[in-house]
Amino acid sequence: MKKRVLSGMRATGRLHLGHYFGALKNWVVLQDECDCYYMSSDWHALTTDYADTSKIDENTLEMVADWITVGIDPQKAVIFKQSMVTQHSELFLILSMISPLGWLERCPTYKDQIKEIKNKDLNNYGFLGYPVLMAADILLYKADTVPVGEDQLSHLEFTREITRRFNNFYGDVLIEPKEQLTKSARVPGLDGRKMSKSYGNSIFLGEEDDVLKEKVRNMFTDPLKIRKDDPGHPDGCVAFAFHEIFNKEYKKREEECKNGSMSCVACKKQLTEMLSEFMKPLTEKRKAVISDKTYLRNVINTGNQKAKETAQKTMLEIRQALKF
């Protein structure tokens, strides 16, 4: 039996290298080995973007275009949109009945975001229930494997706990999923913080060459390396972190930096070339994919149908288990 995989991303628009190395690269591999469902999570986007929903649909198209650009194949994986498979909301409602408030209030992502996001009022029932919706997403497909980044681990733990609670009350219907952490490198943002759209420190998939060059030029480097032959400190240098990903000979670069035989300007020049080479085919493919909205909508509609079939089967079992 093939493994069943479900993963999703909040529909917040274009994706960057952090998404690629942190998740998508792995998604592409999994589609050949497993039965994969990849979801644009537009209801999760609603938990924070509820006041302005005008971009959410467009964001799904932009994101799915990125998925296809990097090699997610609609013939292999089911690509769908959460809000079009309404069974997610039905299971969300049922799970919400058995979700202890304490589990949700203690969730680290919830506490962090309430503290950090100040420009939006997140004191809402739906936002507290974010992990419940995510559990419904996973359990509806009886996914055993969920490829996610570290930041989602507490949600996976919640999903497993709620699965046990559900199965305890109503019988063994739901499957406890396991996370699959992406081993690949962490890509820092241009300023050294985590790469994140909201920090304005991202390199987007399909970035145009001139923008890419400018971004590399502005990348944070070792502030102690002032003259070109000063010895540098690759640890904490963003340009070096990128070399670790894109340059096979990054060990040599580490030495050259430390012993002062290479300037930051030369180091960045080489990085720009490597990044351009990586990006060029993506930029071309992305343009073609995003320009064909009919194709994109067809891919999503077909995926919605397939996802719905699976979700309906699980909901039938759940209704029986609850004696409805």
Name the residues that contact ligand TRP, by CB under 6 A. 6-10, 41, 44, 134, 137-138, 146, 148, 152
CB 205, min distance to ligand TRP, A:
16
Nearest to ligand TRP of 132, 264 (CB atom)? 132
Least distance to ligand TRP, CB of residue 138, Å: 5
Q: Which is nearer to ligand TRP, 146 or 279 (CB)?
A: 146
- Largest CA-CA distance found in the chain, in angstroms, rounded: 75
Minimum CB distance to ligand TRP smaller for 136 or for 299: 136
**Cβ-proximal residue to ligand TRP, closest one:** 8
Q: Closer CB to ligand TRP, residue 72 or residue 138?
A: 138
**Nearest to ligand TRP of 285, 308 (CB atom):** 308
d(CA 81, CA 42): 7
Pick the closer one to ligand TRP by CB: 238 or 311: 311
Beta bridge partners of 8: 39
Closest separation in Å from C-beta 7 to ligand TRP: 4
CB of 158 to ligand TRP, least distance (A): 11
C-alpha distances (whole Å) from 69 to each of 25, 203, 322 are: 11, 15, 42
Residues in the chain: 324
Task: Supply the minimum distance, in Å, between the C-beta of residue 286 and ligand TRP.
Answer: 21
Q: Is the CB of 152 or the CB of 272 nearer to ligand TRP?
A: 152
Nearer to ligand TRP, 9 or 84 (CB): 9
First to last CA, the chain: 31
Are 3 and 37 in contact by the 8 Å Cβ rule? The answer is: no
If the CB atoms of residues 9 and 262 are measured against ligand TRP, the closer one turns out to be 9
Three-class SS of the chain: CCCEEEEEEECCCCCEHHHHHHHHHHHHHHHHHCEEEEEEEHHHHHHHHCCCCCCHHHHHHHHHHHHHHCCCCCCCCEEEEHHHCCHHHHHHHHHHHCCCHHHHHCCHHHHHHHHHCCCCCCCCHHHHCHHHHHHHHHHCCCCCEEEECHHHHHHHHHHHHHHHHHHHHHCCCCCCCEEEECCCCCCECCCCCECCHHHCCCCECCCCHHHHHHHHHCCCCCCCCCCCCCCCCCCCCHHHHHHHHHCCCHHHHHHHHHCCCCCHHHHHHHHHHHHHHHHHHHHHHHHHHHHCHHHHHHHHHHHHHHHHHHHHHHHHHHHHHCCC
Q: Report in angstroms how near the CB of residue 218 gets to ligand TRP at its nearest.
A: 27
Q: How far is the CB of 122 from ligand TRP (least distance, A)?
A: 14
